[in-house]
Amino acid sequence: MAPNSAVTTAEKSNTNNFTLLQVHDSDSPMFPEKQKATSRKQFTWFLLLKLHRVMTCLSWLTNGLKSTFALVKKRVSLADMSDEGPKSRGRLYRFIKVFLALSIGGLVIEIIAHFNRWNLHMIHPWEVQGLLQWSYMAWLSFREDYVAPLVLLVSKFCIVLFLIQSLDRLVLCIGCFWIKYKKLKPTIDADASDLEDPLNFPMVLVQIPMCNEREVYSQSIGAAAQLDWPKDRILIQVLDDSDDGNLQMLIKEEVASWKEKGINILYRHRLIRTGYKAGNLKSAMSCDYVKDYEFVAIFDADFQPNPDFLKLTIPHFKFQGKPDLGLVQARWSFVNKDENLLTRLQNINLCFHFEVEQQVNGYFLNFFGFNGTAGVWRIKALEESGGWLERTTVEDMDIAVRAHLNGWKFIFLNDVKVLCELPESYEAYKKQQHRWHSGPMQLFRLCLPAILTSKISVWKKSNLIFLFFLLRKLILPFYSFTLFCIILPLTMFIPESELPLWVICYVPIFMSFLNILPAPKSVPFLVPYLLFENTMSVTKFNAMISGLFQLGSAYEWVVTKKTGRSSESDLLALAERESKSSNEEKILRRHSESGLELLGKLKQSEIPSKKKRNRLYRKELALALLLLTASARSLLSAHGVHFYFLLFQGLSFLVMGLDLIGEQVS
């Protein structure tokens, strides 16, 4: 028979009356044995390919774990635990250590009880053998009757605070959505925006407060000097509080170079450097010539406004019917937001702050906390509100609250952005957050009597006390730390008061998703952001307690470390502006002293920076061990999601404690 021939046989079944058709063809699709035989080789190659991919993945994971463990070992061996200072040995740290010791002891006993199958409801009193088992049974009975109800009461209180704060966030997001949907934004009167006539340009003072800002002083002064405003109607004050003589000389040289180009700029240095930034600004505002100016724009040393900044902000003050407008605040934009994981997570937080909090409060309430920079004040509003005061570390929030109590209104411009940079190291970010969260509690203690006795409406008083201060500055860090870092691991050893799944999973993820919406490109970082926020709660809680009870660390002011990064457009502008002159050429143009002498001073100023290394943070490491201990206890009870949350939260605390996030210093 030919190979491709087919034989068809038809049979008739007597029982079912079906016709059976048999096809004898080796190539027929109805006869798959041949196909299976021919695809066996392909199937083998498919398995080998899958095996190769699995082995590659395992090799990658092994190398990653090996390098991670090597980095951790090196970090522990090189780190100086004394770097964190005596603050790490405060009451909070001692409390965490005691809690950790009890948790480890409890875990050991729970493991013994688990493998011996001790259970209060299954073992009769006469079946108890040994002192350890009797002690464990007594503890179970005492825990169920007395400890669990107390823990349950505290956890319910924190859950209520959590829901109230979540509702506040949800209302703010709805307000932001409404602004976007209706395309609402502050408007400018057509006559007010006409700046063609030089007489329409008001007198503007630009202030650049700085202190030891070696990396960024040049670019901030350069950006301010290029503001598009008539040169005879603007004055730039460089307010230098640096204690480094060489750096002072460099800043003077930068100011002198711009002055030679026709810019109305001057350099100020205080001999008595008290009050930090507030003292610096207060000293500058006391100059006699300030009375000739109507507005003051403030830029911190790392901020680089666009040339049209004043033309986009000043006209809002000239809007008819708005004589009570005291502040116009612009949004921050970050030049290094994609530098590392730490800056990406900070960008999420600050995008929500500006896009949602500042914009909604500015549009619906005409009040928000001044961000301390990238804003323009009406000088009359500053003077009538008492000027800059040195009583707290958040002088910007202080003047905003006092101006609000005096009836001044604020505007936030979400579409006007000013470039700046984010802290790239965990150390710098931690110190910045400590100041930002201790200062508001200091201010609340000081401002509460003035708020209660002010002439503003009851609604505005309630908003200031309950929403602005208590809910967003006190309750948020309190419940974040207490609920997720203390009560949650505690409930693993007291299962009678276990937190429901929606508290530790569903609601936090939903709220984190809302927080991340203003930065849509950061959606892949949703889970790291949630863990990061819980990890930072220990720093924020400690700062809040310090400010509330006036502890020593509440008055700390550490200038946030800058790297002096610039955007691509900034680099091009800088190259175009400075291509014709190097540092030595600038020196040769000075006539006040010889070029060689000044060059020698400049060389001396290039002091090699002190060797730094990453630190170990005790509170974070102690909490990491605590949460990992609780996750091990959760594993014994097969809690599921609780175990995974505690495990990953513990690992995130470990990463922070070992300073493995952000800038890495060799």
pLDDT at 528: 94
Q: Give CA–CA dist 26/35, Å, rounded.
A: 10
Q: 58 or 270: whose pLDDT is higher?
A: 270
pLDDT over 70 (residue 204): yes
Token look-up 């003047």 returns 399
Beta bridge partners of 327: 377, 410
Contact 533, 512 (CB under 8 A): yes
Higher-pLDDT residue of 113, 30: 113
646 φ, ψ to 5°? -65, -40
Which one-letter DSSP state was computed for residue 560? P
Give the dihedral sign, CA 374/380/386/388: positive
Q: Tokens standing for 52? A: 């190769």
| Per-residue pLDDT tens over the stretch 434-455 | 999 999 999 999 999 999 999 9
Instruction: Output the CA angle 403-409-412, nearest 5 degrees.
Output: 110
User: Which pLDDT score, from 0 to 100, does residue 603 have?
Assistant: 46
At residue 72, the pLDDT reads 67
What would the pLDDT profile of 225-269 be if each residue is shown by its tens digit? 999 999 999 999 999 999 999 999 999 999 999 999 999 999 999
Return d(Cα 351, Cα 340) in angstroms, integer. 17
Of 123, 526, 183, 517, which is closest to residue 353 (Cα–Cα)? 517
Give the lowest-confidence range in 129-138, 152-161, 407-416. 129-138
Question: What's the whole-number mean pLDDT along residues 453-462?
Answer: 94
Averaged pLDDT of the chain: 83
pLDDT at 219: 93
pLDDT tens readout for residues 470-486: 999 999 999 999 999 99
What are the CA-CA distances from residue 211 to residues 238, 239, 509 (Å)? 11, 8, 40
Least confident of 119-133, 195-209, 534-548: 119-133
Using alpha carbons, select from 213, 215, 220 the residue that is nearest to residue 241: 213
User: Which domains occur in the chain, in start order?
Assistant: 124-184+426-563+615-665 (no CATH), 202-422 (3.90.550.10)
The lowest-confidence range among 167-181, 596-610, 624-638 is 596-610
pLDDT (0 to 100) of residue 190: 64
Q: What is the pLDDT of residues 285-314, one digit of tens each?
A: 999 999 999 999 999 999 999 999 999 999
Element (H, E) at 362: helix 359-365
Give residue 194's pLDDT: 60
Is the pLDDT confidence value at 426 over 90? yes
In sequence order, the 6+-apart residues with CB closer than 8 A to the CB of 183 are none
Listed in sequence order, the residues at least 6 apart from 512 whose beta carbon sits closer than 8 Å to its beta carbon are 526, 529, 530, 533
Q: What is the maximal distance between C-alpha atoms in the chain?
A: 122
Report the chain's C-alpha Rg in angstroms.
33
Q: Is residue 590 predicted with pLDDT exceeding 70? A: no
Task: Grade residue 77 by pLDDT with cuts at 50, 70 and 90.
Answer: low
**Band of the pLDDT at 16, cuts 50, 70, 90?**
very low
Please tell me the distance from the alpha carbon of residue 165 to that of residue 467, in angstroms, as a whole number.
Answer: 9
Q: Encode pLDDT of 134-150 as tens digits.
A: 777 788 888 888 999 99
Mean per-residue pLDDT, 579-599: 43
Res 643: pLDDT: 92
CB 204 within 8 A of CB 293: yes
The residue with tokens 């700085």 is 210
d(CA 453, CA 373): 29
pLDDT tens digit sequence for 625-657 = 999 999 998 988 777 889 999 999 999 999 999
- Predicted local confidence at residue 556, as pLDDT: 73
Residues 418-438 have a mean pLDDT of 93
From the list 241, 625, 186, the residue with the least C-alpha distance to 410 is: 186
User: How many angstroms separate the Cα of 515 from the Cα of each of 256, 332, 378, 495, 656?
Assistant: 45, 17, 32, 31, 22
The residues that are catalytic are 241, 396
Name the token pair of 183. 């395309």
**Upper half-sphere CA count for residue 351 (Cβ side, 13 Å):** 20
